[in-house]
Amino acid sequence: MPEDLRSFFLPWRVGILFGVPVVIILVAFRLFVDHRANSPIVDPYLEVINETSLHSPRARQRLEQYYAEHQRQTVASKHYPWMCREIQRLAAQDGITKSLNCPIILDNYEKP
């Protein structure tokens, strides 16, 4: 039996030695990216949403709906671009003409 195991693992030892750490690194990276995507937004991103929702009843209502829907009191980083554009659109319908740009860093966002 030891001879059979030795003959099986011998050709695969390099792949196992390098493959296991690569898989661990990829899983850790994916967990890190998911954690960052679900983390709350920070200034100046938070300021854009809060400033607009303070002046617009429709934007404030949509922001409260988002909080209730996702059971959180902050906007997730992955939802930020969609929420920012939607809040600005709603504020424009309320007559708020102040144009605040939605800063965007990465391209791994989801629609809320």
- Hey, what amino acid is at 30? R
Q: CB-based contacts of 66: which residues, under 8 Å, 6+ apart?
A: 75, 79, 83, 112
Task: Check pLDDT > 80 for residue 99.
Answer: no
Per-residue model confidence (pLDDT) at position 52: 87
Output phi, psi for 8, to 5 deg.
-80, -50
Judge residue 23's burial from the number of C-beta atoms within 10 Å of its C-beta, 0-12 exposed, 13-18 middle, 19 or more buried.
exposed
Predicted TM-score (pTM) of this structure: 0.70
Instruction: Output the CA angle 95-98-99, nearest 5 degrees.
Output: 120
Give the mean pLDDT of 77-106.
Answer: 80
pLDDT above 70 coverage of the chain, percent? 83
Per-residue confidence (pLDDT) for residue 20, from 0 to 100: 94
Which residues face 40 on adjacent strands? 76
User: Is there a contact between 63 and 39 (Cβ–Cβ < 8 Å)?
Assistant: no
Residues 68, 27 contacting (CB under 8 angstroms): no
pLDDT in tens, 51-76: 888 989 999 999 999 999 999 999 99
